[in-house]
Chains A and B, each alone.
Chain A
Amino acid sequence: MNSLMATDFKADQLQHHGVVKTTCAYCGVGCGVLAEIDPDQTGTQQALRIQGDPAHPANFGRLCVKGSALGETVRPEGRLLYPSIGGVRADWAQATAYIADQLHTIVDAHGAEAVAFYVSGQLLTEDYYVVNKLAKGFIGTANIDTNSRLCMSSAVAGHKRAFGSDTVPNSYEDFEQADLLVLVGSNAAWCHPILFQRIKAAKAQNPNLKIVNIDPRATATNEIADLHLPIKGGMDVLLFNYLLVQLADQFALDHDYISHYTDGIEAALLSARADVAVGDAKHSVAARLGVAAEDLAQFCQWFIDTPKAMTLFSMGVNQSGQGTDKVNAILNVHLATGRIGKIGAGPFSLTGQPNAMGGREVGGLSNMLAAHMDIQNPTHRNLVQTFWQSPTIVTEQGLKAVELFDAVASGKIKAIWIMATNPIVSLPNADQVKQALADCPLVIVSEVMADTDCTRVADVLLPAMGWSEKDGTVTNSERLISRQRAVLPAAGEARPDWWALAQVAQKMGFAGFDYPHPHAVFVEHAALSAEQNSDNQVRRDFNLAGLAGLSFDEYQNLAPVQWGSKRFFAEGEFFTPNRRARIVPVSLQSTGHQPSNDYPFILNTGRLRDQWHTMSRTGLTARLTRHTSEPYAELHPDDAAQLAVKNGDILSIKSAWGSAFARVLINDGQQRGMAFVPIHWNGVNSANSRIGAVVNPVVDPFSGQPENKFTPVALCKAEFAQYGFILSAEPLSLLTEDGYAVNVRLGNGWRQEFAVSSGLDPLAFSNIPASLEYHDAAQGIQRVAWLDQNRLSRVVMVAHLANRLPPRGWLDEQLGQPIDASTRRSLLSGVAADPAADIGEIICSCFVVGKNSICRAIQTQNLTTVAAVGQCLKAGTNCGSCQSEIAKLIAQVTAQVITPADPISPAQTVLGE
């Protein structure tokens, strides 16, 4: 297989003509996508035409804005094109031989545990399978973890504690059958937009469907909520323990189910009652949770009264120092009411990544073995080793992500291979991660993009195929396996990750890695899941027996298929030794760090509607940067007043671990004392807005999942001598290391926002004479524009105060465009002479409809509903994830809180006053 050359891959890809069925690269919903090479866009403009796949059971043809923009993220710009060793270009044979040799040396000198892998939910199942096989069965290290650790490892641990297996008991269609949906720690409107739309549609169909949103913040998801419980951060266990007690006290437990299929109800209830009993009349449970007593009562009553109840939980539950307990608190109420694995009833983990579930299936985490088997279980170990015919098999759990990088930092780990993830951005205490990797003797990075935080510290770089090039399978949150297929030829010398791993494995002298095609990997994986998998053998939930015999063609043409049955556990049949579920006693713990005088605020982190993870892909298209182009910190108005900050000010966020800057965004949906900051900005597109550097390295004791939602921080306004921005047709390097700087991709170039402590001379940004200049020395205002062949090629604007800069939206659009006389006149004012030409910040990214346009339409045509706005402007009619924002605008315009001339929005953080 060493002879597998670039041409082989290309031939493989080019067999596809016309529309290719594939699966979205983003969240765990796993939407089907129809992709086709866009014949109108070639060269650097290469793009795909993207549509939802109407036949795909996850989305039935719908796509969210991120998915819709996939076609614009596949351009050659910025791709890593060839392998390199120590910064010197190498060919694949050299690079893989070098890695094999180095790994051997390190294993010989320091033992297998000195070698680590840190992989990703972005990998395909086939990649994931091969890396686990190599690490756990051949090199013999369990130090392989994945960024799924940051995503749903608490759900895995909770599931395993309760069910004896990591099984999601229900399917998406149950959302549409339920009468009560409880969303916990999930901003589904932004993070799982297509499921959110399905729920919304279900609510429209079923007037009895009640939706409860449990979230410290009032997010876009509140749009469909009948009840919002803004509990304080970290209090979920108390809430669900209280619910369990209420169920018991109001005789709503399903004693039949409990007695037949579960263990531990007594202890769990005891523990719950103890939790609830803490405090006195002044400190009622509602007061401790921070919610109104009647709202709490309402929630409990609805849950008690509604047999078809589902609890959908996500990062707000999982990313916690007590994440596993939170999961079990949720599972407990479902087990105790027998509402599990039934039509419209059950707990459901909404996963973050496209293949988080696939990673779980292959045992991607350091505490798992392949095919839902356990490292600690000798029978499982033996089964796997035999199947693999491997020289070894790990016997102990490896290090989980945070510990793993601690071990890199301490020097215990000497070599780490990072694939498809960016831990310098996403892990807590990220500055330490950065330092650790810089110091690590061997860092191998498999990447799609040439310049990321990790490629900057890599010793060996391997170009990986990206979405639209690679070929394999992913599994979504409801256990549905779908094919990702190649549409475009590989960029440069990019290769599949499984292939790179197999090359190294073979060069290390290991047998069993001569896969000719991902098909071969998949059928081996499927065969392992089926191996001895029956009642009288080694029974597991995960069994792909039906797929183990797939022919090459069948694999190529595989339609989406759900493993297991639609539902598990309605009749027990758990995967614990006694086949009974465990109702796990949990109690509210004060984990991690608490606010103090030095760090009085709580930092909460999360995702934005239009961005994905560390932006290496979604940051490439202006369509997705136009909703929110800069990092922000949401503050309650009272906190903002106390801190004396205004919208658009730059906020300094400091914890005991690190610091970051973000723009202030005042939002009364935010809790007092808490600041919410999105996770996306990295060290390549921002100077100091990597929020991971601030997050505390607290982890859940069972899952090892980090606490990303609760870090004590100090906040203050960051003052700079000069504020400004540059628009440029050419890429821009960051202007400052210690100030504020963020690069934003625009349709025709880039914008860099910056704030620096000593002034820059805008005229120095180009060595050709400026075309237009405006100077106001007293306020330090300088605005300079350059035209090249009458096209706007560069703009620099600076001022002593941030609020003396003009808005950016209209200017952004002028970049690279021919400038007519009237545009030229208003260019330096930053505002279109014709107000209608300024559509404002993008609300609907799918159809690129701006806030100003929407407000104007609402006002001039007296639109009163989201549907009417959609009819008029198309806004909100594709993925629908902007519908709640449109609804808010309708309310604001109607109430004349805003006029089209002065819209306020999250995206307006950059505008200042």
Chain B
Amino acid sequence: MRIVVIGHGMVGHRFVEVLAREAAANPDCSMQVTVLAEENRPAYDRVQLSAYFSGKTAEDLSLVDPTFFETSGFKLHLGKGAAEIDRAAKVVTTTAGEKIPYDKLVLATGSYPFVPPLAGKDRQDCLVYRTIEDLELMKTAAARGKVGVVVGGGLLGLEAAKALRDLGLETHVVEFAPRLMAVQIDDGAGKILRSKIAALGVGIHLGKNTTEIVDGETCRHRMNFADGSHLETDMILFSAGIRPRDELARSSGLTVGARGGIEIDNDCRTSDPDIYAIGECALWSGRIYGLVAPGYQMAETAAHAIIASEKKKPFTGADMSTKLKLLGVDVASIGDAHATTEGARSFTYVDEPNEIYKKLVVSADNKKLLGAVLIGDTDAYGGLLQLMLNNMDLPDNAQALILPSFDGAAAPALGADALPMSAQICSCNNVSKGDICSAVAAGSLDFDSIKNCTKAASSCGGCAALVKQVMNAELEKIGVEVKKDICEHFAYSRQELYHLCQVGQIKDFDDLLAKHGNGQHDGCEICKPTAASIFASLWNEHVLQKPLARLQDTNDYFMANLQKDGTYSVVPRMAGGEVTPDGLIACGMIAKQYGLYTKLTGGQRVDLFGARKEDLPAIWKLLIDAGFETGHAYGKSLRTVKSCVGSTWCRYGMMDSVSMAIVLENRYKGLRAPHKIKMAVSGCTRECAEAQSKDVGVIATEKGWNLYVCGNGGMKPRHAELFASDLDDATLIRYVDRLLMLYVKTADRLQRTSVWRDNMEGGLAYLQNVVINDSLGLCAEFEAQMQYVADTYQCEWKTTINDPEQLKRFKPFINSDQADDNVQFVEVRGQIRPATHEEKAGRINVVEMA
């Protein structure tokens, strides 16, 4: 059978993949498949286009296995579209003039971006956002401009805005409707979404009807709006919706809809029984589906209709629910988000300061979920979607789905158990709960193999959490222990990830995500810093070195501790609390010069508060010139080693605690760990250094050092336990090396040693056995790794101030060197403190606009 496919986008490629699968499964089936691709590259992931600007290459985005066409024997013509269809002769003529006969023809021509017909729309750098070629044009345009505007505040428009932002442009979104994502979300959600996106520095202009584009004064263009206002920009990206590519169908006399789109039936067949249409060019029941998941469903339907009718599953419409991250904001929309169903009722939950919005739309009888909108917290998406898709009865207290434990009742179970076997878990790949359960039964016992086996969560990844839930529920049923995954992107515990990184020599996040992550999402604020910490522990590279920098949280990103008013504190290292008079004078001079609030910390060093981000490099330059190093007060790493003055001065001191504290601090400074580490050394049992409240505490006795471990002050105090007694210097350090490495390797993220110890099976005895008796045979490795960390230590600040590229990030505003005047101080006891909200209200400079 000769099958010709016109178009090699995501849906077209999915279609040929299904054909290839069927062909492989059924060797008797003989097929000649020809694919015409208008673009010069095989199918790629258009959904993830904006990743192109955050470092992904066209190859990364490709959806086609390099060996696919070779293996399948299918023919792909790149750079060749279809010019004409002769339905009578069943021949397609390509743009190159070739004639390709077919038995079945599949139109997967997709859509084109709609550009509103307004004057000036064809000016230079007025672009659309659809293909990789478009991205290249954007890159060029961005290079010669400072400001970019996206016309269209829908889903694609916001994706495009992210692209502009990633290109370093001052970014604006202009939308005709009074809210963002008008199709998917309601007013309340739009309000929250708007404020979240605006907070990211993206200008949002709603209810703006662009009338013309003319020459600008400060920028290349000026967009004039119907309300008389205007906006200047160097570049314009139209993202105002899509139109189906149906011109070929029209010219060949296929039935098309009044407003475009090739009409298809439930088998995706057009008005010509031998011609099918799938994806965004197809019009089913008066609707065009602009999402990839329904396109994939059509691809499956059409492929099976053509070659394996026994597997044929009619296409009967698709759910348009979406969950995505737009400019870092979680957004989800399910079903009847606008409560347009007759009698529909809605519950709304708003957490304004945290910018969380949740709305449920339920049927008049309170029995069924009709729709939902979630902004800021989309955890409930998977469960809610299943409730709606499977038409399941709502629990009595449906409110509890967005308000936890409403009126004291337990939150209703949305667990995997409640779902019917037919529930579709992954709509991109049409994987049902039953499919996953079968896969588990057939021996797929971890997420990766489920993903490989069923393809679930392998496209958009939005269902990863739910897939895992179903899998875990099944695993539990068959008695397999369920793992503690750190987040939806990695089905591993921190300890496992650590090992994966170590064994695989993985040094960057994309590599880790590609090899061991789920879906194609970008990671989150849980897995990124965790990975950064693991990389730091393992490889000890500079935290701001690309590509590590974007993984860090704010403290690590700026290598300073963010304070409540947005300023930072600076803590130079003073090992063991020892500081020279010159050092103190230097601190004082610097604090004075920059007007910093100065306080001694509990860890025996000087903390300088109130530094502006932009001043951090200069302050550190002075500190480093004065001989200081970074104190890592911002890091999940060794903070301080506190000490008493010890035998050098004290009448009671048994040993030189200060020297030991300095040795320890210098050895472990820079060690990145699951959480911060504090140590102390006391020169005698009077314990002036309070070593028994520290992760590592050392107390001198007549016979040597006593080592205490896993203590904690802070939120939940825990007394350290005596680990070993009467140690000499070398043994002490050996034990601490081993203990810390074991902790670094095995603790969960943000787990202090105290909690780590409390959760440890076998308790202290086990720990002693591993560290002292080397019961695992790992101690040599631990020591070597710690030695590596010590040997590769670098003062992160010293490196930073010498790297102009890294210094850029400390500029207050991307496009300006002006200071942030939202930072205000008040003087108390001769020093500054942050102004309160009220104090600020009276102080901020208000500029009158003429």
Contacts and interface: CB of A to CB of B under 8 A. Distances in A.
Contacts of A806: 406-408
Given A829-B404, A833-B404, A771 B353 contact: yes
Nearest to A776: B347
Interface string A763-799: 0000001111111111001000001010000000000
Given A769-B352, A772-B350, A778 B405 contact: no
Interface stretch (A11-19, A153-161, A607-615, A820-828): A820-828
Interface string B322-355: 0000000000000000000000011111111110
Interface in A544-599: none
B352 A825 contact: no
Contacts of A789: 837
A552 B563 CA distance: 63
Contacts of A831: 405-408
Nearest to A826: B404
Nearest to B403: A829
A674 B380 CA distance: 51
B764 to A, nearest CB: 28
A807 interface: yes
B399 interface: yes
A901 interface: yes
B351 A824 contact: yes
A774 B347 contact: yes
Nearest to B347: A776
B400 interface: yes
Nearest to B377: A825
Q: Which of A781, A830, A831 is most buried by chain B, counting CB atoms within 10 A of its CB?
A: A831
Contact of A829 (B351, B352, B400, B837): B400
Given A773-B348, A776-B345, A778-B345, A833 B405 contact: yes
Contact of B354 (A770, A824, A828): A824
Nearest to A901: B408
Contacts of B837: 789
B349 A828 contact: yes
B405 A826 contact: yes
Residue of B345, B353, B399, B407 ringed by the most chain A CB atoms within 10 A: B407
Nearest to A779: B345
Given A828-B403, A829-B405, A772 B351 contact: yes
Nearest to A913: B407
B157 to A, nearest CB: 28
Nearest to B349: A774
A807 B351 CA distance: 21
Contacts of B346: 775-777
Contact of B348 (A774, A787, A833): A774
Contact of B403 (A770, A774, A901): A774
B404 A825 contact: yes
A792 to B, nearest CB: 12
Contacts of B348: 773-776
A776 B401 CA distance: 13
A547 B340 CA distance: 87
Contacts of B404: 825-826, 829, 833
B729 to A, nearest CB: 43
B348 to A, nearest CB: 4
B350 A774 contact: yes
Contacts of B345: 776-778
Interface string B663-681: 0000000000000000000
Nearest to B409: A831
A824 B349 CA distance: 12
Interface size class of A (residues with CB under 8 A): 20 to 34
A610 to B, nearest CB: 24
Contacts of B406: 806, 829, 831
B353 A787 contact: yes
Contacts of B407: 806-807, 829-831
A226 to B, nearest CB: 39
Contacts, number: 66
A831 B403 CA distance: 10
Nearest to B364: A778
A901 B408 CA distance: 8
A768 to B, nearest CB: 11
A427 B348 CA distance: 49
A776 B399 contact: yes
A774 B407 CA distance: 13
A807 B408 contact: yes
B563 to A, nearest CB: 15
Interface in A881-913: 901-902
Interface in B9-50: none
Contact of A772 (B347, B352, B399): B352
Interface in B374-428: 399-400, 402-408
A338 to B, nearest CB: 60
Interface string B599-639: 00000000000000000000000000000000000000000
A829 B397 CA distance: 11
Nearest to B354: A824
Contacts of B403: 774, 826, 828-829
A826 B405 CA distance: 7
Contacts of A769: 352
Interface string A9-36: 0000000000000000000000000000
Contact of B352 (A770, A807, A828): A770
Interface string B354-374: 100000000000000000000
A771 B356 CA distance: 10
Nearest to B399: A776
Nearest to B357: A773
A762 to B, nearest CB: 13
Contacts of A830: 407-408
B405 A771 contact: no
A771 B352 contact: yes
A773 B402 CA distance: 12
A775 B352 contact: no
A775 B345 CA distance: 11
A494 to B, nearest CB: 35
| Central interface residue in A778, A789, A806, by most chain B CB within 10 Å | A778
B636 to A, nearest CB: 19
A825 B405 CA distance: 10
A753 to B, nearest CB: 17
Contacts of A833: 404-405
B350 A773 contact: yes
A771 B351 contact: yes
A782 to B, nearest CB: 10
Nearest to B359: A775
Nearest to B408: A831
Nearest to A803: B407
A821 to B, nearest CB: 9
A787 B351 CA distance: 11
B834 to A, nearest CB: 12
A789 B834 CA distance: 14
B408 A773 contact: no
A360 B350 CA distance: 62
Nearest to A770: B352
A829 B403 CA distance: 6
B188 to A, nearest CB: 9
Contacts of B399: 774, 776, 781, 829
Interface string A30-47: 000000000000000000
A769 B195 CA distance: 14
22 contacts: A771-B353, A772-B350, A773-B348, A773-B349, A773-B352, A774-B350, A774-B399, A774-B402, A776-B347, A776-B399, A777-B346, A781-B399, A789-B837, A825-B404, A826-B403, A829-B399, A829-B400, A830-B407, A831-B405, A831-B406, A831-B407, A902-B408
4 nearest A-B pairs in the assembled complex, by CB-CB distance: A773-B350, A778-B345, A775-B348, A829-B403
Given A807-B408, A829-B405, A833-B404, 18 more contacts: A771-B351, A773-B348, A773-B350, A774-B402, A775-B346, A776-B345, A776-B346, A776-B347, A776-B348, A789-B837, A806-B407, A806-B408, A824-B354, A825-B404, A830-B407, A830-B408, A831-B405, A831-B406
